Amino acid sequence: MLIKRETGFLQRFYLLEVMKGLFITTKNWLFSKNITIQYPEQRRKYSPLFRGQHYIKTTNGVENCTACMLCPTVCPADCIHIEAGERADKEKFPVRFEIDILRCCFCGYCEEACPKDAIKLSGIYEMADYERRVYDKNFLLIQRGSK
Amino acid sequence: MAGGVDVTTFELTAMAIKLGIVLLILLHVAPIMVWAERRICSWMQNRTGPNRVGPFGLLQPLADAAKFIFKEEYVPAHVRKGFYELAPAVSIIPAFLTFAVIPFGPSIDIGGNLVHLQLADLNVGFVYILAISSLSVYGTIMASWASNSKYAMFGGLRATAQMISYELALGLSLVSMIMVYGSVSLQEITQAQGEVFAFFPSLPKWGVFLQPVAFLIFFISIFAETNRLPFDLPEGEAEIIGFHVEYGGMKWSSFFLAEYLHMTTAAGFLTAMFLGGWQMFPGMYTAIVALGLEGDALYWTMVGLRVLSFAIKVMVILVFFIVVRFTLPRFRYDQLMHLGWKVLVPIALVNIVVTAYMISFGWL
Ligand code: SF4
Ligand code: SF4
């Protein structure tokens, strides 16, 4: 929207206005605090609800997941791939559990859908890599916790 | 200096040393200014700026220079080769030349020989600066024309128009200064500024107090002269990218080296003309007298303080350049012409007339 402001007599000379502007910038320069976060040394505190890198929770060294296929069903990005199998104690378990992290949109639906509290999203957000990673089961079983 | 003039070995050595020091300082001003510009701008915007390379990020310009040198020397296919290569040199050489006549200290006495702390005390004085610094626009125009590109061309055209509308006001504001001091030699003008006003002895007769209007016009004009914001129309990063749009790597950065050298010279010129040059700040003399120095010690302290005063004044002006750059928006093309022709030139002319009357009545 075009807002027309009245230009006063003094403002037409600009000089006073320029002085005001210079005063503001100089005040900012000398007296205001920097808000930059020096990243690798200082980190921003994120909420505990932050949705970052995935992991599968384990109990006594065994993954909680029973390969119920709820998370691949709910996943909007269709990036979870599970192959179910049977353990010696007749328990269903995922033989393969892969998350194509490049397609993941970090919506957190998988975490919400999971009845066994198995798949979780940690607070880790530094996921840059040199290759196109697909997180496999071994990787997901590393317990990351919420940072 | 050569030819029929007698040149002693002492003078030659002194000249070589002065030249070396001035060149060294000038070459270092640009990187330090780049650093200062980035730091101050970020502080003004509540950021931190480059602070990783070296202490306080001071080595950042070195890293930048290394980057520029190792960049590919790419020459676009559509440019006019010879002129394209020549343009950065053409804009950088006048920038180096202009500092020659600016006195950065008093004449000092070394074992009976007088050494002027100024590279060349030409009899044309600052007219030389005006002449040479106008040459630098040729570098800009050459770059824009040889680039064979629309946007570069616009930059060049703007540079020309800006030059014409500002040189005039700049020159006219200096005319009144010539009338006041009766000289064009910067050394003499600086010396004249050492006096104090009769009615208020603690106020020195600096140009800015004698000719405030001329000072204002000159100050505005040198922003245009050095292509700094708010008058950086030839560059105009946001709209046309400017006359150096087809340049890259070291060639591009030499335009910037030239710009910073111009700023330094302009700041030195302004200091010598209006801010008392190497004259000490009011109060400094009282302070060293109070310290009880005598003879040689007093003499050399005064020389040191005078050079220091000059350096401080130049630095303040340079910092002011930076603060202004990050405060004011760019002028539009027609606004710039309007300001140049319809505001500054008439004011400068009126100022000349008023000055002439004041001189003829003996008030100045
Ligand atoms: S966070 Fe969303 S997109 Fe990513 S794996 Fe879970 S459900 Fe799929
Ligand atoms: S929803 Fe939970 S239990 Fe079901 S397959 Fe996914 S991770 Fe395993």
Contact: B45, A28; criterion CB under 8 Å: yes
For a substitution probing ligand 1, which of A110, A114, A125 has the most ligand atoms within 8 Å of its CB?
Answer: A110
Name which of A15, A18, A29 is nearest B44 (Cβ-Cβ): A29
- Ligand 2 contacts (CB < 6 A) are A 65-71, 82, 113-114, 116, 118-119
* Vertex A126: Cα angle to A79 and A124 (nearest 5): 75
Q: Is there a domain that residue B7 lies in? A: no
Residues of B in contact with A34 (CB under 8 A): 42-43, 46-48
Whose CA is closest to B108, among B302, B279, B282?
A: B302
Angle, helices B212-225 vs B345-360, to 10°: value is: 150
Supply the residue whose CA is at minimum distance from atom 3 of ligand 2. A65
Which one of A66-75, B10-19, B103-112, B160-169 scores highest in mean pLDDT? A66-75
CB-based contacts of B35: which residues, under 8 Å, 6+ apart? B50, B57, B58, B60, B61
Which one of A8-22, A91-105, B59-73, B266-280 scores highest in mean pLDDT? A91-105
Q: Contact at 8 Å (CB) between B155 and B236?
A: yes
The verdict on the CB of residue A110 being under 6 Å from ligand 1 is yes
Q: Tell me: pLDDT of A8 over 60.
A: yes
Contact: A32, B328; criterion CB under 8 Å: no
For the stretch A53-92, pLDDT in tens is 999 998 888 889 999 999 999 999 999 999 999 988 888 9
How many Å lie between the alpha carbon of B177 and the closest alpha carbon of chain A?
22
Q: Is there a domain that residue B55 lies in? A: no
Would you state the structure tokens that stand for residue B224, as one six-digit string? 């245009």
Contact: B327, A25; criterion CB under 8 Å: yes
- Phi, psi of A74, deg, nearest 5: -80, -20
Q: Tell me: pLDDT of B1 over 50.
A: no
How many Å lie between the alpha carbon of A32 and the closest alpha carbon of chain B?
7
Q: Is there a domain that residue B26 lies in? A: no
For the stretch B170-189, pLDDT in tens is 889 988 888 888 888 888 88
**Window 327-346 of B, Cβ < 8 Å to A:** 327-328
State the Cα–Cα distance between residues B268 and B119, nearest whole angstrom: 13
Cα(A103) to ligand 1 centroid in Å equals 9
CA atoms within 13 A on the CB side of B203: 8
Q: Tell me: pLDDT of B225 over 90.
A: no
Q: Tell me: pLDDT of B354 over 60.
A: yes
Ligand nearest to the CA of A98: 1
CB-based burial label for B100 (10 Å; 0-12, 13-18, 19+): middle
Contact: B323, A25; criterion CB under 8 Å: yes
CB-based burial label for B319 (10 Å; 0-12, 13-18, 19+): middle
Q: Is there a domain that residue B236 lies in? A: yes
Confidence of residue A147 (pLDDT cuts 50, 70, 90): very low
Give the per-residue pLDDT at A143. Answer: 84
Q: Is there a domain that residue B117 lies in? A: yes
Ligand nearest to the CA of A94: 2
Range B319-338 average pLDDT = 86
CB-based contacts of B353: which residues, under 8 Å, 6+ apart? none
**A16 in contact with chain B, both atoms CB, cutoff 8 A:** no
Cα(A144) to ligand 2 centroid in Å equals 17
What percentage of chain A exceeds 90 in pLDDT?
41
How many folded domains does chain B comprise?
1
Q: Tell me: pLDDT of B297 over 90.
A: no
- Phi, psi of B103, deg, nearest 5: -75, 125
Whose CA is closest to B107, among B26, B174, B194?
A: B194
Q: Is there a domain that residue B67 lies in? A: no
For the stretch B203-223, pLDDT in tens is 788 888 888 889 999 998 888
Q: How many CB atoms lie within 10 A of CB B337?
A: 16
pTM of the predicted protein model? 0.83
Q: Is there a domain that residue B11 lies in? A: no
DSSP-derived secondary structure letter, B79:
S
Would you state the structure tokens that stand for residue B105, as one six-digit string? 């200290």
Which residues on adjacent β-strands are paired with residue A85?
Answer: A93
State the Cα–Cα distance between residues B256 and B243, nearest whole angstrom: 12
Q: Is there a domain that residue B91 lies in? A: yes
Across chain A, mean pLDDT equals: 88
State the Cα–Cα distance between residues A82 and A73, nearest whole angstrom: 11
Give the per-residue pLDDT at A146. Answer: 54
Q: Tell me: pLDDT of B5 over 70.
A: no
Domain range for B330:
75-360
Which domains are present in chain A?
54-142 (3.30.70.3270)
CB-based contacts of B128: which residues, under 8 Å, 6+ apart? B98, B100, B101, B122
Contact: B48, A28; criterion CB under 8 Å: no
Q: Contact at 8 Å (CB) between B252 and B244?
A: yes
Give the per-residue pLDDT at B2. Answer: 47
Whose CA is closest to A29, among B56, B50, B48?
A: B48
Scan for tokens 């206005």, then name that residue. Answer: A17
Whose CA is closest to A116, among A43, A31, A57?
A: A57
Which one of A53-57, B56-60, B193-197 scores highest in mean pLDDT? A53-57
- Phi, psi of B237, deg, nearest 5: -50, -40
Q: Please state the atom number of ligand 2 nearest to the C-alpha of residue A63.
A: 8
